[in-house]
Amino acid sequence: MNEDQLTAAVSSENGQEFLTFTLGTEHYALDILKVKEIRGYDAVTKIANAPAFIKGVINLRGDIVPIIDLRMKFDIGDVTYNEFTIVIVLQINSRYVGVVVDAVSDVITLGKEDVRPAPEFGVSFDSRYLLGLASVGESMVVVIDIERLISSDEIGLMDQVSESSLTEPH
C-alpha cells in the first residue's frame, strides 16, 4: 500500500464518494466514479476454459460484457444466485465488466484521513488491490483499488502480454 495511490484516490478536500457493498459478512467500498450501473443478476452465457469465477458474458445493450463473481474469486460468503443477487457494472478504462456481489449498501464519502493503511494480512484481498481500511459507524470497510484489481493478471480478463506477443510479426 503506498501513499501516492491513497492520495490519488482520496484526492479532493471533501473526500470522495465510494459505493459500499457486501461480500458475505464483510463490507467493501469502491470508487463510485468507476460504476456504470447496478443491475440484477441475469442468465449468463458461459465461456469455456475460463476460471470458475468468470461466470460468462451478458448482453448489455449490445455490448458483450463479462461477469465475474468476486465471492468465488476471493472465497467469501456463499455463492448463491437469486433475485436479490446484484451485479455492479464497472467501466474500467474503456472496458465494461460486471461484478457479482451479495448486496449493495450505501454511498459514503471518505476523506483522506478516514482511510487508514490496511494490514498486510487479515483480509481476503491481496494488499496490492487495497487502498486501505475505513470505519463507518460500527463496521470496518475495506476500500478496494478496483481498477487495479480488475485489470490484474490474476483476474485475467484482458489479453495482455500473451496476446500482443502473438500478433507481433517477427
Partner 1 sequence: MSIDMRQFHDSFFEESAEHLDEMERILMQVDLESPSADDLDSIFRAAHSIKGGSGIFGFDALGVVTHVMENLLDKVRAREMALESDLVEILLRTGDTLRTILGAYRGGESIPWTEVNQATEALEKVLKSHDGAPVEEPDVGSTPPETVGYGFFPAKPQPTEDDGFGFFEPDTAAAPIDEGFGFFDELPSGASPVAPESGPGFGFFGEEGGAAAAGSDSIAHPTKGIPPKADREAPGNAGDGEAESAVGHQKSVSPPVPKTSGGPSKTSAEKSLGREKRSSHESTSIRVDTLKVDQLINLVGELVITQSMLLDICKDVEGHNGERLERVLGELVRNTRELQESVMSVRMLPISFAFSRFPRVVRDLAGKLGKSIDLIVEGSETELDKGLIEKLVDPLTHLVRNSVDHGIETREARKAAGKPEKGNVVLRALQQGGNVVIEVADDGGGLDREKIIDKAIQRGLPLPDNPSDRDVWQLIMAPGFSTATVVTEVSGRGVGMDVVKRNIEALGGRLDILSAKGQGTTFSIHLPLTLAIVDGLCVLAGDQTFIIPLVNIIESMAPDAGSIKTLAGQDKLLSVRNHYWPVVALGAVMQVEKGTLDAEHSIMVLVEAGRRRFALQVDELVGQQQVVIKSLEQHYRRVSGVAGATILGDGGVALILDIEALAEHAISSETMEASTV
Interacting residues toward partner 1 by CB under 8 A? 43-50, 56-59, 62-66, 95-97, 156-159, 163, 166-167, 169-170
How far apart are alpha carbons 144 and 139 in whole angstroms? 16
Shortest Cβ distance from residue 129 to partner 1 (Å)?
A: 20
Shortest Cβ distance from residue 44 to partner 1 (Å)?
A: 8
Q: State which residue, 25 or 167, has the beta carbon closest to partner 1.
A: 167
Q: State which residue, 42 or 120, has the beta carbon closest to partner 1.
A: 42
Q: State which residue, 25 or 80, has the beta carbon closest to partner 1.
A: 80
Q: State which residue, 32 or 92, has the beta carbon closest to partner 1.
A: 92
Shortest Cβ distance from residue 42 to partner 1 (Å)?
A: 9
Shortest Cβ distance from residue 57 to partner 1 (Å)?
A: 5
Three-state SS string over the chain comes to CCHHHHHHHCCCCCCEEEEEEEECCEEEEEEHHHEEEEEECCCCECCCCCCCCEEEEEEECCEEEEEEEHHHHHCCCCCCCCCCCEEEEEEECCEEEEEEECEEEEEEEECHHHEECCCCCCCCCCHHHEEEEEEECCEEEEEECHHHHHCCCCCCCCCCHHHHHHHCCC
Shortest Cβ distance from residue 41 to partner 1 (Å)?
A: 14
Q: State which residue, 59 or 135, has the beta carbon closest to partner 1.
A: 59
